[in-house]
Structure 1
Amino acid sequence: MAKASEAKGKTRIQMEKTEKILAAALDVFSTYGFRGSTIDQVAQQAGLSKPNLFYYYDSKDAIHAELIERLLYVWLDPLHQLNPEGEPIEEICAYVRRKLEMARDYPRESRLFANEILQGAPRIKSLIAGPLKSLVDEKTVVIQGWMDAGKIAETDPYHLLFSIWSTTQHYADFDSQVQTLLPADKSKDRFKEAASYLDRMFRKSLAAE
């Protein structure tokens, strides 16, 4: 357990140091993955000595756990906003836009999550099987209801969500490839153009016949 999480009434300086450590750890973990990262790397990135870092967190696992816990709340929010009472295609396309905006604004967090999943999710299985699964199950029921009512085309609601995740998070996890492969005049506006492309694609695939 992170010492910083146990502390009550932290001072401003302690809060600043905690945030500095977490920001440094996000850089390190998103670049090297959990297994490839060390406490020394995090301390160096944060500009702290290792003993100073250990005053706030007692292990690499504790730092990583707090990062993942914070990430989960951010990651689930776009799906939480899917409104069962809204117009189905508009709601789904708005969700696609929110996920793409996250890829643009939180690339390190996306890579941190992807690295963990690629390793078999050993440190976040309980989070995936708990809060994430509960939310996905809830929203797939909503999507299936829209299909049953003939408001959107028939498809598998789970794989629809997986498709949205893969097409949007690609622009964070593989951004260096995207920038390299796109013509120079398209690379700068890649997220804007991706938003237009994905919006057209999902609208076309979801339109009820």
Structure 2
Amino acid sequence: MNSPVVSETTPAPKRSRIQRKNRALILKAGLEVFSQNGFRGATVDMIAQVAGLSKPNLLYYFHSKEEIYTTILADLLVEWLNPFRMLDPNGDPMDELMGYIRAKLAMARDFPQESRLFATEVIQGAPHIKSVLETDLRELVEAQSAILSKWMDEGRIARMHPVHLIITIWALTQHYADFDAQTRAILSGDDPFPDAAAHLELLFRKLLTP
């Protein structure tokens, strides 16, 4: 049975500084181990070794490798969605969307390992986080799509399917993390992000201009 993914609205238990430090060490080690070995190939012993903790100490904080894995993914999803959640319905639509696109691309640049781990989970059918995708994520997309639709109705951005607009933003920004090796290979090893930021802004400004 899959471990439940804690919603970002669930109050976090109060923890001491040492507890917070050890949890962070475990999650960082888990990210490294899962990224290298996949969920099936990873073990609690591997994660404990990378974290520099004993296995019993690790199991005090997390009861299983699945709990570590789902926590990593749930925390990542919350972090990724914060800029999306911050869209201001009263702001300038173009500024709001360009700001979100820049933030999403920066996350692809700064957290490529996390992005690829999340992509692998989704490609496999999202067995550990499907319930979150079908509830919390869907509800957020519906709410933010309503903002986009309102801007379209007001003639402030071009009319298109709001959900597919969101999916397109995700696809074009996350590509630079998930396919980093391919992107750098065809760019002869150059850093793709400065030009990617300029290109995506030009692309979406043209697409969204009424």
Q: Per-residue displacement from partner, 1:106-140 (whole Å, max 9, x unpaired)?
A: 21221221111111011111211121111100111
- For residues 121 and 201 of structure 2, what CA distance do their matches in structure 1 show? 29
TM-score, normalised to structure 2, is 0.87
Aligned to 2:205: 203
Aligned to 1:193: 195
Q: Aligned with 1:153: secondary structure? A: coil
Aligned to 1:41: 46
Aligned to 1:30: 35
The alignment of Structure 1 onto Structure 2 pairs a total of residues equal to: 201
- For residues 136 and 9 of structure 1, what CA distance do their matches in structure 2 show? 31
Aligned to 1:64: 69
Shift of 1:181: 1.6
1:51 matched to 2:56? The reply is yes
Shift of 1:56: 2.4
Gaps of 5+ in 1: none
One-letter code aligned to 1:166: A
One-letter code aligned to 2:209: A
Write 1 or 2 for the structure with the bigger share of helix.
1
Shift of 1:102: 0.8
Shift of 1:153: 1.3
1:175 matched to 2:180? The reply is yes
Instruction: Answer with 195-204 or 69-78: which moved more.
Output: 69-78
1:140 matched to 2:148? The reply is no
Instruction: Answer with 53-62 or 79-88: which moved more.
Output: 53-62
Instruction: Answer with 199-208 or 13-22: which moved more.
Output: 13-22
- For residues 199 and 43 of structure 2, what CA distance do their matches in structure 1 show? 40
Q: RMSD between aligned alpha carbons?
A: 2.0
Identity %: 48
Aligned to 2:115: 110
Contact 1:30 1:115 in 2 (8 A): no
- For residues 32 and 93 of structure 1, what CA distance do their matches in structure 2 show? 36
- For residues 73 and 8 of structure 1, what CA distance do their matches in structure 2 show? 17
Aligned to 1:82: 87
Shift of 1:10: 4.2
- For residues 173 and 207 of structure 1, what CA distance do their matches in structure 2 show? 29
Shift of 1:180: 1.6
Instruction: Answer with 43-52 or 144-153: which moved more.
Output: 43-52
Q: Per-residue displacement from partner, 1:59-118 (whole Å, max 9, x unpaired)?
A: 111111221222222011010111111111221111111100111112122122111111
Instruction: Answer with 42-51 or 118-127: which moved more.
Output: 42-51
Contact 1:152 1:207 in 2 (8 A): yes
Match of 1:127 among 129, 132, 135: 132
Instruction: Answer with 52-61 or 97-106: which moved more.
Output: 52-61
- For residues 110 and 94 of structure 2, what CA distance do their matches in structure 1 show? 24
Shift of 1:33: 2.8
Gaps of 5+ in 2: 5-11
Shift of 1:54: 2.1
- For residues 151 and 168 of structure 1, what CA distance do their matches in structure 2 show? 23
